[in-house]
Amino acid sequence: MRQSSTDKRHFITVSVLVLIGTAVMFWLLDSALPMPIQASIQAQTVDQVFQWTLIAIAFLFSLVVVFMLYTVIVFRRRRGDTGEGEHFEGNTALEIIWTVVPLLLVVLFGYIGVTTLTDITKAQENEVVVQVEGFQWSWLFTYPTDSGEFTSTELVLPVDQPARMEMSSRDVNHSFWIVEMRVKQDVLPGQTTVLRFTPTIEGDYKLRCAELCGLSHWNMLASVRIVSPEEYDAWLAQQSSQAAAITTASN
Amino acid sequence: MSLMSLGIVRGFVWQIAGTIIGIVFAVAMRLMMGMSPWATEPVWVVAILFGSMGFLIGVGSMTDWFKWMVGIDTPMRHGPPKGKPAWTRYFGVDYNHKVIGIQYTITAIFMLAVGGAFAIIFRTELARSGLQFLNPGQYNTFIGMHGWAAIFAIFIGIGGMANYLVPLMIGAEDMAFPRLNAFAFWINIPAIVWLLASLYHGWDAGWTLYPLLSTRGEPGFQFVFLSVFLLGFSSILGSLNLIATMLMMRPKGMSLFRMPIFCWGVMGASIIQLTATQFIAQSFLMLSFERTLGMPFFNPDGGGSPLLFQHLFWFYSHPAVYVWVLPGLGVISEILPVFARKPLFGYRWIALSSIAIALVGFLVWGHHMFTSGYANSLRAPFMLATLLVAVPTGVKFFSWLGTLWGGKLTFPTPMLFALGAISVFLLGGLSGPPLALVGSDLFLHDSYFVIGHFHATIFGGFVFPFLAALYFWYPKVTGRMYNETLGKLHFWIMTPAFWMMSVGQMSVGVMGMRRRIADYDPMLGGMTSSGLSAVEIGQTVVTISAFLIAFSILLMIYNLLNSAEVGALAGNNPWRSRSPEWQIPSPAPEHSYATPIRVVGEPYDYGLPGSTYVTMATAGDD
Ligand SMILES: [Cu+2]
Ligand SMILES: [Cu+2]
């Protein structure tokens, strides 16, 4: 005997299945989407945002799919039955509920989105400023020092100190992305764009261009070193004296 | 019968002639102006314009108009060609919307195959790190070709569904402007020719064609700009025709809220096409002018702005995504009630949600540009507007569940594809929020996560519903039934394969795989115990899935071709649908409705005893 489709038991079963589905889905998504290491303060915020969306995705996904699979199994036509389904054309209360509840969810995620955005883009004191220039198909970093400036083909930054990249392009659009730092920013000709991040783990990373920029876009890389403050100061001193020596020599 | 009596052959001959005349004209102009006679790009621009015009005249798409200009009358309806085999009408200008709908659909399947072939080529390259058999220049051209070929397939596929179905569904004799309809279809053919021709010189900026990359480099770019311009022209004319048809040609008793729901999807899509296509046309013309006429719209050295292009481009190209999915979502809403034997749950909500999506869609283009370098203060409003799209989209999902709930479901191939479409579109929709939230987008933008997201959206919103539609209306078009076993096999290969592909793409994206790169760092994601790195495993899964999808599509093409001859006769209404197109013989006759129809009930009142949707007026009725 077929139960009426508005029987409470259907909804109790589906609710339980949706909860189980959410947990399974979250576990699946979490293992299918392996995050690279978190090497900046911004990475922690970004990953947090991503985790929240994963929870929402897991829930909404299993909500729809479990309901759908449930109807496929429970409300399939039995052999020999040629009758029609139950006749109901809609339910305004339900429609309002599933308009308003998602709207609240949008407000919640809007709030999360705006506060985290402010968080990862705000200016900080004591920023290390590096001028970044992108061109087909390399990167060049310019460091200001007391005695002028010097350029480098690798990006070296001190750990635990906010860094600000002031970037422009010599030719076409490029994009600055170090996956372990998470955040990225396009690099444009004729305009200076800014990207802030605070590295938290010493080590070697890769800067990769993320905007198609022609033939060797795939290979537009630069090495990135995050070092201790002492090592950074030593590197700065060595680079600027080298630059000074070259300037003197060429004079 | 001579080959030249086929319109399309005449069209191609005229296109070649026009192209040659264009070249001669351009060279002559250059000589008169004291320039060197040959410069590849400007000469080809003129040749493309002349060649396209040549095709449209040669194929005969303007013949009736020319006759009217000189005062020669032509019949309202030309009917099937006289003295020629029936199949020839599909290869020339024909004003019957059913013929045009089939022309569109076949062209769409062809372009789907072209786009898919490009994908298969570079997917094979990407299965392993290292450059195997493509060089980076070829790779960069192929990804752009894949993109535009697929987009052509989508627009043309929607044209096919809309042209065939809308007049039938509203009981109209034809479209409002049958000649404009044919003209709009035939514009696509020279557009396709130029798109394919762009391969010769190559172009390496991807389908988005951002300057300043697209304003330097190979002349292949010009072919793409002008090809897309033609496609857009077709799109504007087609949507104008559809809106006029739906507003003016409904039968007695069919209020807008009693139209079959597919028409609402087409309405939403057409509103966008009619009002937004101008923006991409404009932006591509500006690229073309910048290259040939030296007008620096986008080059900062001449006072232009590279960001200006992105705004113009996405102001159209985001809403365009809704052009691609709204008709498909309409197909889902059309198919579910038939196989659930239940009314469509919340008809008005579904109908209005299409319009809501179309309107909100105009406010969200900036979400493609969160990393572009526009003012930080613009990011929050674009983020909020984007999240808002979830609300009307959610209404559709929940209403579909309401439609299924308490039904008596059967699962022939079209129903399977409709349900598969829901699951895939859900995956696409739900992978949107991480990209809508600026924080996570700064991470995921231009990564493979985005690739996974939009392929799921477009497969769920267009490809799966399009396939569902092919199987569903196949009996009406051919009068015969497709092979159900092969149809189900198609579904059961394609759906799991698509799932693996999408999740695989998102997975490698999170590991740090960028989009549009010919080769990648094999160490992304780290090594696994299998001896392969995580990213290579992901890439291999994606490639294998792509091959499975391609194979399953070939299976369908075989099924549809073969069944047209050997399939069982379908009868008027094999699905027991209430929709008017199923109340007439299959295949649908030359004049669809012998007498006008009248709407006397709701379209989806399955299970309401004694109700009907339409009645055919009998002779003598008013
Ligand atoms: Cu690049
Ligand atoms: Cu968009």
**Where residue A148 sits, what CATH number does that domain have?**
2.60.40.420
Residues A182 and A114 in one domain: no
Nearest to A193 among B373, B431, B506 (CB): B373
Task: Give start-end residues of each CATH 1.20.210.10 domain in chain B.
Answer: 94-616
CB A157 within 8 A of CB A235: no
CATH topology of domain B94-616: Cytochrome C Oxidase; Chain A (1.20.210)
pLDDT at residue B232, rounded to an integer? 95
What's the pLDDT tens digit per position in B593-619? 988 899 999 999 998 888 889 988 664
> Please, which pLDDT band fits residue A1 given cuts at 50, 70 and 90?
very low
Query: ∠ CA B390-B421-B331 to the nearest 5 degrees?
Result: 90
What's the pLDDT tens digit per position in B249-295? 999 999 999 999 999 999 999 999 999 999 999 999 999 999 999 89
Residue A79 has, within 13 A of its CA and on its CB side, a CA count of 0
What's the pLDDT tens digit per position in B69-126? 999 988 877 888 888 888 889 999 999 999 999 999 999 999 999 999 999 999 999 9
Average pLDDT over residues B40-53: 94
> Which helix H or strand E contains B594, and what residues bound it?
none
CB count, 10 Å around CB of B140?
A: 28
Q: Do A67 and B405 touch (CB under 8 A)?
A: yes
Q: Do B506 and A32 touch (CB under 8 A)?
A: yes
Nearest to B608 among A87, A112, A219 (CB): A87
* Ligand number nearest to the C-alpha of A210: 1
- Residue A232, in any domain of the structure: yes
Which range is least confidently modeled, A15-29, B78-92, B156-170? Answer: B78-92
Residues A55 and A139 in one domain: no
Cβ–Cβ contact A86 with B under 8 A:
yes
pLDDT at residue B494, rounded to an integer? 97
What's the pLDDT tens digit per position in B527-547? 888 888 899 999 999 999 999
Residue B143, Cα to own-chain centre: how many angstroms?
18
- For residues B215 and B484, give the distance between their C-alpha atoms in angstroms, rounded to a whole number: 50
> Which helix H or strand E contains B616, and what residues bound it?
strand B614-616
Nearest to A184 among B343, B371, B608 (CB): B371
Name the residue of chain A whose CA is nearest to B401's CA: A68
Residues A147 and A52 in one domain: no
> Which helix H or strand E contains B614, and what residues bound it?
strand B614-616
What's the pTM? 0.95
Beta strands in chain A (DSSP E): 128-135, 138-145, 148-152, 155-158, 163-169, 174-177, 184-187, 193-197, 203-209, 221-227
For residue B154, is pLDDT > 80? yes
pLDDT at residue B621, rounded to an integer? 47
- For residues B84 and B247, give the distance between their C-alpha atoms in angstroms, rounded to a whole number: 36
Query: In Å, what is the CA distance from A79 to each residue of A71, A82, A207, B409, B582?
Result: 16, 9, 62, 11, 25
DSSP B386: H
The number of distinct structural domains making up chain A is 2
What is chain B's alpha carbon radius of gyration, rounded to the nearest angstrom? 25
Task: Name A205's bridge partners.
Answer: A224
Q: Do B405 and A5 touch (CB under 8 A)?
A: yes
Residue B94, Cα to own-chain centre: how many angstroms?
22
How many angstroms away from the CA of A158 is the closest CA of chain B? Answer: 22
- Nearest CA to A138 out of A128, A149, A156, A152 is that of A152
pLDDT at residue B618, rounded to an integer? 61
**Which residues on B lie below 8 Å from A106 (Cβ)?**
384, 387-388, 390-391
Q: Do A186 and B372 touch (CB under 8 A)?
A: yes
Q: Do B434 and A81 touch (CB under 8 A)?
A: no
CB A193 within 8 A of CB A184: no
* Ligand number nearest to the C-alpha of B368: 2
For residue B1, is pLDDT > 70? no
- Residue A114, in any domain of the structure: yes
pLDDT at residue B622, rounded to an integer? 46
Q: Tokens in use for B366?
A: 């900036």
Residues A234 and A163 in one domain: yes
Residues A115 and A191 in one domain: no
- For residues B506 and B518, give the distance between their C-alpha atoms in angstroms, rounded to a whole number: 18
Residues A163 and A106 in one domain: no
Cβ–Cβ contact A215 with B under 8 A:
yes
Residues A67 and A152 in one domain: no
Residues A58 and A132 in one domain: no
Nearest to A218 among B216, B433, B517 (CB): B517
Average pLDDT over residues B428-454: 95
Give the distance (Å) from ligand 1 centre to CA of residue A53.
29
Cβ–Cβ contact A173 with B under 8 A:
yes
> Please, which pLDDT band fits residue A7 given cuts at 50, 70 and 90?
confident
Question: What is the 3-state secondary structure of A9-54?
Answer: HHHHHHHHHHHHHHHHHHHHHHHHCCCCCCCEHHHHHHHHHHHHHH
Q: What is the DSSP string of B185-216?
A: HHHHHHHHHHHHHHHHH---STTTT-TTTTTS
> Which helix H or strand E contains A1, and what residues bound it?
none
Task: Name A224's bridge partners.
Answer: A155, A205
Q: What is the complex's ipTM, to 2 decimals?
A: 0.95
Phi and psi for A164 in degrees, rounded to 5?
A: -125, 120
Residues A218 and A155 in one domain: yes
What's the pLDDT tens digit per position in B383-438? 999 999 999 999 999 999 999 998 999 999 999 999 999 999 999 999 999 999 99
Residues A209 and A113 in one domain: no
- Which amino acid, one-letter code, is at A92? T
CB A41 within 8 A of CB A157: no
Give the distance (Å) from ligand 1 centre to CA of residue B139.
14
- Nearest CA to B239 out of B265, B279, B274, B263 is that of B274
Residues A186 and A238 in one domain: yes
* Ligand number nearest to the C-alpha of A208: 1
Average pLDDT, chain B: 93
Q: Do B140 and A33 touch (CB under 8 A)?
A: no
Residues A142 and A218 in one domain: yes
Domain limits at A61?
2-73+97-121
Name the residue of chain B whose CA is nearest to A136's CA: B213
Query: In Å, what is the CA distance from B132 to each residue of B127, B447, B471, B519, B598?
Result: 10, 22, 39, 9, 63
Percent of chain B at pLDDT exceeding 90: 86
